C-alpha cells in the first residue's frame, strides 16, 4: 500500500511538472520543472530497485545536465524574461496531435499490457553483476557499447569545444566594427 | 504481447502504470517540441522525450525479464548519449546567441554569415 501511495505521488509529480515544463512562459522556470521531473524519474528507478540507475540519473541528469541548462539559460537570456510562443493555430494543431497520440497509445497500453507481467519481489541486483556485465565480452555483456560510449564522449568534448570557441578573425573584425 | 506470461507476483504497481506515466511525459515533450520556438526550450522537450524512454526500458526489463539487465544498460547508454547531445547542443545554442543575439528559431535564417 505504501508503495502504491509513493508511486502515485511520483506519477502525479511527473505528469504535472512535465506539462508545466513545456507550457511555462519563463524559461528558467521550465528548467526547474524539468529538474523536478528528472528527480521524480530517479524515484521511479528506485521503486523498480535499480539503485545504480537511480544514482546515475541523479548525478548525470539532475546534476550535470541541469547545471549545463541553467548556465546556458543565464548566458543567453535575461532572467525572468517572458519568451513568447508560436501562433495560435500551431498551438492548437500540435495540442491536437499530442492528445490524439496520447489517447491512442494509452488505449493500446490499457487494453494489452495489464495481464502480462511477472514481477519478482525484493530482487535486487548486485553491483558486482553490473560491473561484470558492463566489462565482459561474452553473451549479454556490454564491453563494446561501453567503449563506443567512451569514444562518443570524447568526440562530444572535442566537438563542443570546436563549436563554442571564439573564432579569432571574426572576433577581431567585430572589434574593429565596434571601434568605428 | 501474449498471455503466456502469468502474473505471479502481486506486484503493488502494475506495469501499465509505469507505461502511462512515461507516455504522458513523452507527449508533453512532443507538444513542447512543436510549440516552442526557443532553442533551449526545444532542448528541454527533447530531454523529456529521452527520459520517458528511460522509464520504459527500466520498467520493461524489471517486469518482463527480471533476471537479465539489458534494459538497465540501454537506459544507462541512453543517459550517456543524451548527456553528449545536450553538451553539443548547448555549445551550438551559445554560438547561435553569439552570432544572432537571441535564440529564437524564427530569427535564424542562415547559420553562416
pLDDT band at B3 (very low <50, low <70, confident <90, very high): very low
pLDDT tens profile A125-141: 788 888 888 888 888 88
Residue A138 has which C-alpha cell?
561474452
Radius of gyration of chain B (CA): 19
In this structure, what are the phi and psi dihedrals at residue A156, rounded to the nearest 5 degrees? Answer: -65, -40
Query: Kind and range of the H or E element at A25?
Result: none
Q: Which residues of chain B have a CB within 8 Å of the CB of A27?
A: 38, 40-41
Give B37-46 pLDDT, tens digit per residue: 888 999 999 9
Per residue in A56-83, pLDDT (tens digit) is 999 998 889 999 999 999 888 876 677 6
Q: Which domain holds residue B73?
A: 15-100
Cβ pair A4, B14 in contact under 8 A: no
- Least confident interval from A108-112, A146-150, A176-180: A176-180
CA-based nearest distance B32→chain A, Å? 5
Check B48 against A37: CB less than 8 A apart.
yes
> With an 8 Å Cβ cutoff, is B76 touching chain A?
yes
For each of the domains in chain A, give its residue range(s) and CATH number, in order of start.
1-83 (1.20.120.1200), 125-180 (no CATH)
The answer as to whether B88 is a domain residue is yes
Q: Global pTM?
A: 0.85
Closest-CA residue to B56 (of B86, B26, B13) = B26
φ, ψ of residue B112 in degrees (nearest 5): -110, 120
Q: Say if B113 falls within a structural domain.
A: no
Q: How many domains is chain B built from?
A: 1
CATH number for B89: 1.10.287.3510
A42 and A62 Cβ atoms separated by less than 8 Å: yes
Q: Which residues of A touch B1 (CB under 8 A)?
A: 112-113, 116
> Using CA atoms, how far apart are residues A92 and A98, in angstroms rounded to an integer?
10
B79 vs A157: CB contact, 8 Å cut-off?
A: no
pLDDT-based confidence at residue A42 (cuts at 50, 70, 90): very high
Q: How far apart are CA B9 and CA A121, in angstroms?
A: 7
Amino acid at each position: 500500500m505504501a508503495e502504491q501511495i509513493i508511486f502515485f505521488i511520483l506519477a502525479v509529480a511527473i505528469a504535472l511538472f512535465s506539462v508545466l515544463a513545456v507550457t511555462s512562459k519563463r524559461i528558467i522556470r521550465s528548467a526547474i520543472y524539468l529538474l523536478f521531473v528528472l528527480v521524480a524519474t530517479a524515484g521511479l528507478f528506485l521503486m523498480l530497485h535499480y539503485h545504480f540507475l537511480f544514482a546515475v540519473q541523479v548525478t548525470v541528469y539532475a546534476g550535470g545536465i541541469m547545471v549545463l541548462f541553467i548556465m546556458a539559460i543565464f548566458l543567453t537570456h535575461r532572467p525572468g524574461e517572458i519568451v513568447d510562443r508560436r501562433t495560435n493555430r500551431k498551438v492548437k494543431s500540435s495540442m491536437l496531435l499530442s492528445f490524439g497520440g496520447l489517447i491512442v497509445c494509452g488505449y493500446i497500453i490499457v487494453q494489452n499490457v495489464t495481464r502480462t507481467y511477472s514481477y519478482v519481489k525484493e530482487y535486487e541486483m548486485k553491483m558486482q553483476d553490473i560491473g561484470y556485465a558492463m566489462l565482459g565480452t561474452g553473451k549479454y555483456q556490454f564491453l563494446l557499447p561501453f567503449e563506443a560510449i567512451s569514444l562518443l564522449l570524447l568526440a562530444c568534448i572535442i566537438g563542443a569545444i570546436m563549436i563554442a570557441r571564439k573564432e579569432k578573425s571574426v572576433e577581431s573584425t567585430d572589434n574593429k566594427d565596434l571601434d568605428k | 504481447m501474449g498471455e503466456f506470461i502469468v502474473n505471479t507476483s502481486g506486484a503493488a504497481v502494475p506495469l501499465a502504470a509505469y507505461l502511462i506515466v512515461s507516455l504522458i511525459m513523452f507527449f508533453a515533450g512532443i507538444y513542447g517540441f512543436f510549440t516552442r520556438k526557443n532553442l533551449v526550450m526545444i532542448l528541454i522537450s527533447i530531454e523529456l522525450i529521452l527520459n520517458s524512454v528511460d522509464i520504459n526500458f527500466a520498467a520493461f526489463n524489471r517486469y518482463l525479464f527480471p533476471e537479465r539487465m539489458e534494459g538497465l544498460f540501454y537506459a544507462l547508454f541512453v543517459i550517456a548519449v543524451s548527456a553528449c547531445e545536450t553538451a553539443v547542443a548547448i555549445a551550438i545554442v551559445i554560438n547561435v546567441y553569439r552570432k544572432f543575439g537571441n535564440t529564437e528559431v524564427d530569427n535564424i535564417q542562415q547559420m553562416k554569415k
